[in-house]
Amino acid sequence: GPVTLADEVGLDVVSHVSNFLSSADLGVRMEGGDVSLMAKMVEKGWLGKKSGQGFYTYGKGKNAKKSINAEVQAYVKEFATRDLNLSEQEMQDRIIGRFVNEAAKCLEDEIIENPVVGDIGLVFGTGFAPFRGGPFRYLDQVGVDNYVNM
């Protein structure tokens, strides 16, 4: 997903992109996150796979496994301002919702030609969960009315 993709691309690159998007004139669409989270991770040297640790810690060698970085796990908790008591499903829906809403806006603004292009772009370009098939396929599965009422 997006966290794995961030580690693969490099948190320095992700930080740069998030700073750019947060200062772009896109209105409330890019608000809600604290971009300093990534900048501070970069300052700490947590660049992802290329530095051996980011959201995950990477072992050495070709067959080494990755594991969740306990330092980062503790660090990101500092950014939680309050406990909303959300279920795991509600958290997933909120994360997916940002992707789905932005994909719909891109289709509306004719940035993408059709839903298939949007699905392919988000699965391969952002780490949108491939098993969901992309944001538009997800909407087809859930139903637009059900999605809007989540």
Tokens 């750019």 sit on residue: 20
What does the block give as tokens for 29?
A: 């669409």
Q: Are strands 56-58 and 66-68 parallel, antiparallel or unpaired?
A: antiparallel
Q: What is the pLDDT of residue 135?
A: 94
Task: Give tens-digit pLDDT for 14-71.
Answer: 898 888 877 777 767 667 777 888 899 999 999 999 999 999 999 887 788 899 999 9
- Residue 48's pLDDT is 94
Query: Residue 9 pLDDT > 80, yes or no?
Result: yes
Q: Is the pLDDT of residue 147 over 80?
A: yes
CA distance linking residue 70 with residue 63, whole number of Å: 21
CB atoms within 10 A of CB 82: 5
pLDDT at 30: 67
Q: What is the pLDDT of residue 34?
A: 79
- The CA dihedral of 98, 103, 105, 111, to the nearest 10 degrees, is 140
Contacts of 46 (CB under 8 A, 6+ apart): 11, 53, 54, 69, 71, 72
pLDDT score of 5 = 85
The answer to whether 7 and 55 have CB atoms below 8 angstroms apart is yes
> Got the DSSP string for 107-133?
HHTTSSSSHHHHHHHHHHHH---GGGT
Q: Span 125-135, mean pLDDT?
A: 86
Chain centroid, CA 112 distance in Å:
20
